Amino acid sequence: MKQGDPDRSRIMRAVKGKDTSPERFVRSILHRAGYRFRLHATDLPGKPDIIFRRRKKAIFVHGCFWHGHNCKRGARIPKSNTQYWKKKIGSNIDRDVRSLGALKALGWSVAIVWECELKEPNSVMRRMSMFLDGELCLPTQSLSNQAKADCEDILPPSR
Ligand SMILES: [Zn+2]
């Protein structure tokens, strides 16, 4: 294997590494883009994974399976204990919806990054920088309807 440039191999490790969670990956691309943030705000509803207090913006990084994403991986319910998993994931989804509503009620904007989106780090980064800095929010093709709705939610109501 060629010794590539360190940035690229770090990204590849972040994408593929078994010990690297999706959340850590999102943190690292945000950090590399120059954003500074805090983690796991225990004082906020749903304990968002990444927060920008001054901007009042929060990001959740969701695993597709655990949070019931409307994608291939999210739809894959184990064949044994199916009822258990359905119930478990259903209650995760309910909790996510409640947290989102509670955060918005407190004046926070919220974005969700799905694990499956991380296959395209550049489009995630584009969406995040628009979420954090821009007036626009351009969801990628791969986003589920739910994610598109989330994205529309973060636009100011006047637009
Ligand atoms: Zn997904």
What is the CA(25)–ligand 1 centre distance, in A? 15
For residue 116, which phi and psi values (nearest 5 degrees)?
Answer: -70, -20
Confidence at residue 51, expressed as pLDDT on a 0 to 100 scale: 95
Confidence at residue 11, expressed as pLDDT on a 0 to 100 scale: 53
Confidence at residue 145, expressed as pLDDT on a 0 to 100 scale: 54
What is the CA(72)–ligand 1 centre distance, in A? 7
Element (H, E) at 83: helix 82-105
What is the CA(74)–ligand 1 centre distance, in A? 6
What is the CA(37)–ligand 1 centre distance, in A? 24
d(CA 109, CA 104): 6
73-82 CB contacts, 8 Å cutoff, 24+ apart: 73/115, 73/116, 74/116
What is the CA(47)–ligand 1 centre distance, in A? 21
Token output for 89: 């994931």
Confidence at residue 21, expressed as pLDDT on a 0 to 100 scale: 87
What is the CA(113)–ligand 1 centre distance, in A? 9
Q: Which domains does the chain have, with CATH numbers?
A: 6-153 (3.40.960.10)
Which residue, 138, 147, 122, is CA-closest to 61? 147
Element (H, E) at 14: helix 6-16
What is the CA(64)–ligand 1 centre distance, in A? 4
CA angle, residues 99, 102, 107, in degrees to nearest 5: 125
Render pLDDT for 97-116 as a digit per residue (tens, 0 to 9): 999 999 999 999 999 999 99
Q: How many CB atoms lie within 10 A of CB 80?
A: 6
Element (H, E) at 121: helix 121-133
What is the CA(1)–ligand 1 centre distance, in A? 31
Confidence at residue 154, expressed as pLDDT on a 0 to 100 scale: 43
What is the CA(141)–ligand 1 centre distance, in A? 13
Confidence at residue 153, expressed as pLDDT on a 0 to 100 scale: 43
What are the residues whose beta carbons fall under 8 Å from the beta carbon of 25, sequence distance 6 or more? Answer: 14, 15, 118, 121
What is the CA(73)–ligand 1 centre distance, in A? 6
- pLDDT, mean of each 10-residue run, the chain (159 residues): 51 49 92 90 92 94 93 88 93 95 95 94 92 62 48 40
What is the CA(123)–ligand 1 centre distance, in A? 15
Confidence at residue 6, expressed as pLDDT on a 0 to 100 scale: 53
